[in-house]
Structure 1
Amino acid sequence: MVDSSTKKPNWLLRRPDPDAGARLFCFPYSGSGATMYERWPRRIGDVEICLVQPPGRQNRIREPHYETYERLAAQLIEDLVPYLDRPFAFFGHCSGALPGVEVTRQLAAAGLPLPQRLFVSAQVAPHDGPYGRLLELDRDGLRETLADLITNMGGTPSDTLLDFGLDLLIWDVEANKRYVVPAPLDIPCGITAIGWSQDNQIPFSLMGGWEAMTADCRSILLDGGHFAFLAAPPALLAEIARDLTGGAGVRGPD
C-alpha cells in the first residue's frame, strides 16, 4: 500500500507543505496550465498557494482531457482529500472559477470537508452562463486569443507554440460550454466575487448572480484589466487574506 503522504500528487504542481496553516487551491483558466501562477508568491502569510494542474497540459500533456467540469472534479477530489485537513479555499479566474464551484458541490454531496471560501474572479455565476467571448470564437479567433494569453503570461506566441496549444484551448472552451446550470446552486460556503475595473471581457455588472448561491457573498471591484490577477497584485492578495484568515497571522506575501 502506498503511503498518501509520500505519493507524488498528479493534480498539484507542488507537494503541499504539511506545516502550512491553510491552503488556497488555484485553478488555471482555459488554454493554460498551473504555471500561469508563476508570479504569485508561494504563501500569503500562513496560507500556502497550491497550484492545480488538470490533465492534457504541461507536465500532464500526454493524459486525456477531462472533457467536463463534473469529471474533472470527481477525479481531482480523489487526490485532494488528504490535503483538506486544514482550512482551505479555492481560487479561479474566468473559466478557472467554475471547476472550484463544481468541486465544492461534489465535496458537499459526499460529506467531505468544505472550503471556507470560493474566490471567483471575472466570471458570471454558473446559472448565468455559459458566458464569455471565447465561447463564441471559431478556430482562428481562438488562435488569436491564445496568442494574447501567451503574451500576457510573458511568453512569445510562435507558430509552433500556437499549433501545440490550440487544441487544448478548444477542449477547455468546450468544457465551459458543457457546464450548463439551470438554477442557482446552493453552495455551503462563503463566496468572494472579484471584478476588475477595466475588464472588457467579464464586466463586473454581470457578476451579481453569485449572491443567489450563498448567504455569505461579498462582491469587490479591484483596479485593473482582465489579466491583472496574473501579477498577484497586493490588493487581490489582501482580499484573499481578509476572507480566508480574517487577516490573522498575515505577514504579506512570502
Structure 2
Amino acid sequence: MRVADRGTVWVTSFADVPDPVCELVCFPHAGGGSSVFQTWQRHTDVLRVSAVRLPGRESRLREPAIADLDALVDALAAALSGLTGRPYAFYGHSMGALVAYELTRRLRAEGLPLPRGLFVAGMDAPQRLDLDRAHDLPRDELVAWLVGVNGLDAEVLEYPALIDLMLPTIRADLAVVENYEHRRQPPLPVPIHVLRGRGDVQVSVEGSGGWAELTSAGCAVTDLDGDHFFVQHNERRIVSLIESDLVGEGARR
C-alpha cells in the first residue's frame, strides 16, 4: 500500500526516497501535527517516512478537528483505501497509537492490505485504557492539566492568544481518546511493537503488555528513557528499531 505522494490533504512526506523498502506512516499525539516527524527521514534511507495531517492544525488549521474516533477513522480509511503499491507500516504516539490501531482494524474489515507492522508508543492497550477526563475541563484547569503532563510548555503560558487558538483542537483530540470504547474483535494478524518511556506515568507496564492480546503475529515491548514524550530524546533509536523490524539488519544500506 503506497499511502501517499507528497502534497496530499491527509498525508505528507518530507523527502524523496528512491525505491523505499517500506513506507512508515506516522500518527501524531493529541494536539500534535505532521511536523513532529519531519526529522525522522534523516535517520533512514530505506524507509519512506510519511505523516498524517489531521484537521485543526498546520495547513488544515481552519478546518475543525474531529472529536470522534469512528468519524476520524472513517475519513482516514476513505483517504487511504484506494491507494496501492509498496508495503507500509503504521507508527502512532499516544492518541496516534489508538488511531493507527483502529484504522488497521477498519482496513481489515474492508479487506484491504494491512500494514507490515504496527508501532505504538505512549499508550496503554486500548482494552485496558482508564483515563482521566480532561477534554471538557474549564479553560484554566485544562491548561494547568496540560502543563502538568508535559503536553504544553510552560513558556507558552505567556501567549494566551496562542493557547486559545490551540485549545479547540486539543480538546477534540482528547475527546477522541477519552470517549473511546474498545470493541472486542479477533486479534490482528499484524506484529505490534510497543514503545514505552520508563518515566511515563500515563502508561503502565501491565497496560503496555496488554497489546499482546490484540495480535496473533507477535508483540514486543521496548522501554526507553524518558517520560510521555520520550520520543523527543530517542528519535534515532526509535527509527532504527522500526527499520530493523521492517526490513532487517541485512537490508540496511
TM-score of the superposition, structure 1-length normalised?
A: 0.84
Find the partner of 1:151 among 134, 153, 176: 153
Say yes or no: does 1:101 pair with 2:101: yes
Match of 1:230 in 2: 232
Match of 2:244 in 1: 242
Distance 2:235 2:244 in 1: 14
Alignment root-mean-square deviation, CA: 2.7
Q: Which amino acid aligns with 1:103?
A: L
Give the conservation status (yes or no) of the 8 Å contact 1:40–1:232. Answer: no
Distance 2:104 2:32 in 1: 22
Q: How does 1:47-66 map to 2 (within 5 A)?
A: 47-66=47-66
Q: Is the alpha carbon distance of 1:204 and 1:6 closer, same or farther for their aligned partners in structure 2, counting shifts above 3 Å?
A: closer
CA drift at 1:141 = 3.4
Give the conservation status (yes or no) of the 8 Å contact 2:43–2:239. Answer: no
CA drift at 1:45 = 2.9
Give the conservation status (yes or no) of the 8 Å contact 2:224–2:230. Answer: no
CA drift at 1:144 = 2.8
TM-score of the superposition, structure 2-length normalised?
A: 0.85
Segments of structure 1 that go 5 or more residues without pairing to the other structure are none
CA drift at 1:49 = 1.0
Distance 1:7 1:120 in 2: 24
Match of 1:41 in 2: 41
Distance 1:223 1:15 in 2: 27
Match of 1:170 in 2: 171
CA drift at 1:8 = 4.2
Say yes or no: does 1:28 pair with 2:28: yes
Segments of structure 2 that go 5 or more residues without pairing to the other structure are none
Q: The residue matched to 1:169 in structure 2 has which SS?
A: helix
Give the conservation status (yes or no) of the 8 Å contact 2:10–2:76. Answer: yes
Match of 1:85 in 2: 85
Q: How does 1:166-205 map to 2 (within 5 A)?
A: 166-183=167-184, 186-205=187-206
Stretch deviating more after TM superposition (83-92 or 22-31): 83-92
Distance 1:167 1:66 in 2: 10
CA drift at 1:84 = 4.4
Distance 2:114 2:4 in 1: 21
Distance 1:220 1:184 in 2: 25
Q: Is the alpha carbon distance of 1:105 and 1:42 closer, same or farther for their aligned partners in structure 2, counting shifts above 3 Å?
A: farther
CA drift at 1:176 = 1.0
Q: The residue matched to 2:13 in structure 1 has which SS?
A: coil
Distance 2:102 2:186 in 1: 10
Q: Which amino acid aligns with 2:165?
A: F
Match of 1:14 in 2: 13
Distance 1:172 1:144 in 2: 17
Q: How many residues align?
A: 245
Give the conservation status (yes or no) of the 8 Å contact 2:198–2:223. Answer: yes
CA drift at 1:12 = 1.2
Q: The residue matched to 2:23 in structure 1 has which SS?
A: strand
Give the conservation status (yes or no) of the 8 Å contact 2:27–2:97. Answer: yes
Q: Is the alpha carbon distance of 1:82 and 1:163 closer, same or farther for their aligned partners in structure 2, counting shifts above 3 Å?
A: same
Q: Which amino acid aligns with 2:63?
A: E
Q: Percent identity?
A: 30
Q: Which amino acid aligns with 1:176?
A: V
Output one character per residue of 1:50-102: Cα deviation in whole Å (capped at 9) or x when no partner. Answer: 01111121211122322222221221223324554112111111111011011
Stretch deviating more after TM superposition (134-143 or 72-81): 134-143
Give the conservation status (yes or no) of the 8 Å contact 1:135–1:173. Answer: yes
Distance 2:39 2:7 in 1: 24
Output one character per residue of 1:153-189: Cα deviation in whole Å (capped at 9) or x when no partner. Answer: xx84521211111111111111112220143652121
